[in-house]
């Protein structure tokens, strides 16, 4: 039988991580200790059957006195296992009462196991078969062949082949398990990294462009631009993800990339018409000399060959695009892998692939960025050009009167309010109002109330209209990523405890876009939440990503399933940054 397949492991490293659930101590002790599992070296004196039990009278050589082995609910095969005058080894729990000792439901053990500490595994494979399999495959030589360091390999082996009974994993053994787990993971991830040819770009002098801007870029924006400049100058396709918090100025990094690449063509794909429009208008402002075009479903036929910078939605995938040396995707998680690959393919020149840059406004923990960089280069922008002034508060039903007063004050100051509901229609499964249930109250008591949600075909038109004319917008999480609303000062998130902290942070990022004083109210029926309290104390997306990881656990980066659910068994993505760094260095990635 192929035990690797049965165990669902692909190599010796993964086999080594399937550690024993317990150990059995088969060493011979001379002193009997009641209520513990022990080995009895004994000779059978008699075999007695009763209606409910099988009792084997023994003389124990190691303890120097008689002891009885007791079996309940006996099976016929047991009667043939014990012969009078036979010497054997039994392992089981010792019970003593009034000077009379029993070994309860013991198991016979082979003489070649006596004196050993035997690990017990829970995997559906017979113990003796599995031990033989481990001795053959889980060896120091095989672990070293996988690239593991000798000291780590020896600590791993000490878990499976212990010299003495372990009470718990030692600090060194736990380190070895964490290190081996991330070492194996990074090794597999880096093997997926593709190296493709690309046209090396003779980049423009970025300082010339920086001097034309009415503001200074942050150090981290400049570092991202420098990373991209180095990428463009290589004849290997760049694959870089730039992760920046809401409002960290990623769009300026995009425009800098287009400037560096000019006069070669650049294509930028955004997930919504609203975002594509915003990027187009900003590009016209900051790259005035460029021939820039906006391409959406509404765009009439146009010859794209005459443009330097092509900005569009997924409509780009259905147009004849000119060859481009740079492709950028904004909010990359909103597009599938197939769509991203299609775009690259459309602008490729023969075997030469365009340099590819993905941008994301969903901050990830530093540890996750370190791991992902084994497959794709990652640049983090953790600072924002200006500090956001947002007050975040957990509120419940008793605070509703104060919330209404706040909303009235903000509307009177020409500010806008966004209220996020968990559902569009009523549901018995959710103990909060839906948009349909709540809208009549807001429309009755306030003017200029707008409503939209994910299935609304007119949502982009409604958001544009709300931007200029609205006071209150009722929506679902459709606005998590999207339109910039400069007058939006307040967001109320109904049923906040139902959302992950990263989603709450994205929603909160809609307010205080231009330095306006912002407010975020987390409306919940369960106000005593450590998770929401922790969220209120920081507006830094990367700290929140770390908190989200702590409260929800990570998903599987290798398969791309990044929903909640623990992937690593031993490694802690919040605490073990040093171990990840060490494994990366040792792998040279």
Overall average pLDDT of the 422-431 stretch? 80
State the chain's mean pLDDT as an integer. Answer: 89
Both tokens of 562, joined, read 């990044």
Give the model confidence (pLDDT) of 378-423 as tens digits.
999 988 877 778 999 999 999 999 999 999 999 999 999 999 998 8
Q: Name the percent of the chain lying above pLDDT 90.
A: 62
Q: Strands (DSSP E) along 173-319, which ranges? A: 239-244, 266-269, 292-295, 309-312
Model confidence, pTM: 0.76
Measured CA to CA, the distance from residue 63 to residue 55 in angstroms comes to 19
Phi-psi region at 346: left, alpha or beta (left = phi > 0; alpha = psi -120 to 50)? alpha
Above 60 in pLDDT, residue 294?
Answer: yes
Segment 184-198 mean pLDDT: 89
Express each pLDDT in 316-346 by its tens digit: 998 889 999 999 999 866 677 788 788 888 8
Find out whether the peptide bond into 448 is cis, omega within 30 degrees of 0: no
Q: Return the DSSP state at 318.
A: G
Alpha helices (H) in 418-573, listed in sequence order? 435-445, 459-469, 501-508, 530-536, 541-552
Q: Give the side-chain half-sphere CA count within 13 A for 396.
A: 10
Instruction: Provide the sign of the torsion angle of the four alpha carbons 379, 382, 388, 394, taken in this order.
Output: positive
Check the CA dihedral 102-108-111-116 and report its sign. Answer: negative
* pLDDT tens string 217-252: 999 999 999 999 999 999 999 999 999 987 788 999
Per-residue H/E/C for 325-360: CEEEEECHHHCCHHHHHHHHHHCCECCECCEEEEEE
In this model, does residue 210 exceed pLDDT 60? yes
Can you say whether the dihedral through the CA atoms of 256, 259, 264, 265 is positive or negative?
Answer: positive
Here the tokens at position 247 are 């409002």
pLDDT in tens, 441-463: 999 999 999 998 877 778 778 88
81-113 residues labelled b (16+ CB within 10 A) or e (exposed): ebeeeeebbbbbebeeeeeebbbeebeebeeeb
556 pLDDT band (50/70/90 cuts)? very low
**pLDDT-derived band of residue 1, with 50, 70 and 90 as boundaries?**
low
Evaluated on CA atoms 80, 81, 82, 86, the torsion sign reads: positive
Three-state secondary structure call for residue 45: strand
User: What length does the chain have?
Assistant: 589
Residue ranges and CATH numbers for the domains of the chain are 3-170 (2.40.50.140), 206-381 (3.40.50.300), 390-538 (3.40.50.300)
Q: Is 589 helix (H, G, I), strand (E, B) or coil?
A: coil
Residue 557, pLDDT above cutoff 50: no
Beta strands 239-244 and 309-312 are: unpaired
130, pLDDT greater than 90? yes
What confidence tens digit (pLDDT) does each residue in 454-512 have? Answer: 777 787 788 888 989 999 999 988 665 556 788 999 999 999 998 888 889 988 988 88
Alpha-carbon span 243 to 363, nearest angstrom: 6
Give the pLDDT of residue 76.
79
d(CA 80, CA 31): 30
pLDDT at 564: 37
Q: Which of 15-29, 366-380, 458-472 has the highest mean pLDDT?
A: 15-29
| β-pairing verdict for 488-494 and 65-72 | unpaired
Return the beta strands (E) in 73-184 as ranges: 87-97, 100-108, 117-120
The SS3 call for residue 249 is coil
Q: Is the pLDDT of residue 86 over 90?
A: yes
Q: At CA 518, angle to CA 492 and CA 436, rounded to 5? A: 20
At 49, is the secondary structure helix, strand, or coil? strand
CB 327 within 8 A of CB 354: yes
Read off the tokens for 47: 């075999």
% of the chain surpassing 70 pLDDT:
96
* Mean pLDDT confidence for 181-196: 90
When pLDDT is cut at 50, 70 and 90, the band that residue 78 belongs to is confident
Cα–Cα separations (whole angstroms), residue 488 to 399, 453, 545: 21, 18, 24
**What does the alpha-carbon distance between residue 265 and residue 324 come to, in Å, rounded to a whole number?**
5
Segment 543-563 shows an average pLDDT of 61
Query: What integer is the mean pLDDT of 348-369?
Result: 87
Q: From CA 490, how far away is CA 390, in angstroms rounded?
A: 9
Nearest to 190 by CA among 356, 21, 441, 375: 375
- Taking the C-alpha atoms of residue 142 and residue 25, their distance in angstroms, rounded to an integer, is 27
What average pLDDT score do residues 261-283 get?
92
* Residue 22 parent element (H or E): strand 22-25
Query: How many angstroms separate the CA atoms of 156 and 169, rounded?
Result: 10
């Amino acid at each position: 039988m192929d035990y690797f397949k049965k165990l669902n492991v692909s190599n010796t490293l993964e086999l080594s991580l399937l550690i024993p659930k317990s150990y059995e101590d088969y060493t011979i002790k001379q002193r009997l200790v009641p209520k513990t599992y022990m080995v009895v070296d004994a000779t059978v004196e008699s075999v007695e059957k009763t209606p409910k039990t099988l009792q084997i009278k023994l003389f124990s050589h190691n303890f120097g006195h008689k002891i009885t082995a007791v079996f309940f609910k006996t099976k016929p095969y047991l009667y043939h296992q014990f012969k009078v005058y036979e010497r054997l080894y039994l392992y089981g729990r010792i019970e003593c009462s009034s000077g009379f000792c029993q070994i309860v439901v013991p198991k016979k053990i082979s003489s070649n196991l006596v004196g050993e500490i035997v690990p017990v595994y829970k995997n559906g494979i017979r113990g003796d078969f599995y031990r033989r399999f481990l001795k053959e495959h889980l060896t120091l030589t095989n672990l070293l062949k996988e690239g593991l360091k000798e000291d780590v390999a020896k600590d791993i082996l000490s878990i499976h082949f212990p010299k003495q009974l372990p009470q718990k994993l030692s600090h060194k053994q736990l380190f070895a398990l964490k290190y081996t787990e991330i070492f194996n993971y990074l090794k597999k991830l880096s093997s997926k990294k593709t190296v493709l040819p690309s046209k090396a770009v003779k980049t423009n002098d970025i300082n010339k462009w920086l001097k034309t801007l009415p503001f200074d870029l942050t150090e981290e924006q400049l570092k991202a631009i420098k990373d991209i400049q180095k990428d463009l100058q290589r004849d290997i396709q760049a694959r870089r993800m730039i992760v920046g918090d809401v409002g960290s100025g990623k769009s300026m990094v995009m425009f800098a990339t287009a400037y560096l690449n000019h006069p070669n063509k650049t294509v930028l794909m955004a997930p919504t018409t609203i975002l594509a429009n915003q990027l187009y208008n900003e590009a016209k402002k900051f790259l005035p000399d460029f021939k820039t075009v906006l391409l959406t479903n509404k765009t009439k036929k146009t010859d794209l060959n005459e443009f330097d910078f092509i900005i569009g939605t997924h409509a780009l995938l259905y147009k004849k695009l000119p060859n481009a040396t740079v492709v950028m995707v904004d909010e990359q998680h909103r597009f599938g892998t197939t769509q991203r690959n299609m775009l690259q393919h459309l602008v490729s020149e023969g075997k030469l692939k365009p340099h590819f840059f993905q941008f994301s406004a969903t901050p990830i923990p530093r540890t996750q960025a370190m791991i992902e960089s084994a497959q794709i280069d990652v640049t983090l922008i953790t600072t924002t050009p200006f500090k956001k002034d947002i007050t975040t508060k957990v509120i419940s039903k008793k605070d509703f009167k104060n919330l209404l007063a706040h909303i009235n004050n903000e509307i009177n100051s020409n500010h806008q309010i966004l209220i996020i509901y968990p559902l569009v229609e009523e549901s018995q499964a959710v103990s909060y109002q839906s948009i349909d249930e709540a809208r009549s109250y807001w429309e009755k008591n306030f003017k200029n109330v707008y409503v939209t949600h994910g299935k609304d075909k007119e949502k982009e038109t409604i958001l544009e209209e709300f931007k200029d004319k609205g006071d209150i917008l009722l929506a679902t999480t459709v606005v998590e990523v999207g339109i910039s609303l400069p007058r939006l000062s307040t967001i109320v998130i109904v049923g906040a405890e139902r959302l992950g902290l990263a989603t709450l942070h994205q929603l909160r990022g809609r307010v205080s876009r231009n330095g306006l004083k912002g407010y975020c109210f987390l409306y919940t029926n369960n106000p005593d939440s450590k998770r929401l309290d922790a969220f209120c104390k920081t507006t830094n997306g990367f700290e929140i990503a770390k908190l989200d990881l702590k409260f929800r656990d990570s998903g599987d980066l290798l398969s791309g399933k990044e929903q909640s659910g623990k992937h690593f068994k031993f490694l802690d993505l919040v605490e073990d940054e040093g171990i990840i760094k060490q494994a990366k260095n040792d792998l040279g990635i």
